[in-house]
Amino acid sequence: MENKTERFEKLLVKNGLKRTAPRLQVLEILSGRDSATSQPYLEQVMGKDADRVTLYRVLQAFEEKGIIHKVLDQQGTANYAICSDGCSAHEHHDEHVHFNCDNCHKIYCLDSVKIPALKVPVGFKVEHLNLIATGLCANCSDKVN
């Protein structure tokens, strides 16, 4: 199996980004989590390893290249998750449902759930759909019962 860091390095090069420590660290953190990661959490984990400004810029660059996508939770806080294959700078294929757990506050990308087509009033042209469900995730609804 291919080394994880190697994969990340290729990913960066493929997108014309240099292989730098903060970028690799962000990819490392994001890939190790099963749900989207909030900007404040990233900031905390990176600590003094990288400047806050650098983090902003890394995330912005990744988003532009289609390496990660941003999901806003109900409070408007930005959360980031690595895009599944098939995303690019030109087109994000992240029109899956996001699930924001009321209990643990994690945000899951439900890649398998597609957003159904929508009937909108005449004249409106839908480009993208963004659906966030809230409730209890599988983990938390287990614990509660």
Partner DNA sequence: ATGTTAATGCAATTATGTTGCAAATATAGG
Partner DNA sequence: CCTATATTTGCAACATAATTGCATTAACAT
- Residues of each annotated binding site for Zn(2+): 101, 104, 137, 140
Using the rule CB under 7 A, which residue among 29, 41, 61, 140 binds DNA? 61
CB 41 within 8 A of CB 60: no
Assess 29 for contact with DNA (CB under 7 A).
no
Window 30 to 59, contacts with DNA (CB under 7 A): 39-40, 49-54, 56-58
Using the rule CB under 7 A, which residue among 4, 5, 10, 13 binds DNA? 13
Q: For residues 71 and 96, what is the distance between their CA atoms, to the nearest angstrom?
A: 11
Q: Which residues pair with 69 in a beta bridge?
A: 81
CB 42 within 8 A of CB 81: no
Residue 96: phi, psi to the nearest 5? -95, 175
Q: For residues 32 and 70, what is the distance between their CA atoms, to the nearest angstrom?
A: 17
Among a copy of itself, DNA, none, the one that 74 touches (CB under a kind-dependent 5 to 8 A) is a copy of itself
Among a copy of itself, DNA, none, the one that 122 touches (CB under a kind-dependent 5 to 8 A) is a copy of itself
- Helix or strand run (H / E) with residue 37: strand 37-38
Residue 115: phi, psi to the nearest 5? -80, 125
Which residues of the chain form contacts with DNA (CB under 7 A)?
A: 12-13, 16-23, 39-40, 49-54, 56-58, 61, 76-78
Which residues of the chain form contacts with a copy of itself (CB under 8 A)?
A: 72, 74, 76-78, 97, 99, 102, 110, 112-113, 115-116, 118-139, 141-142
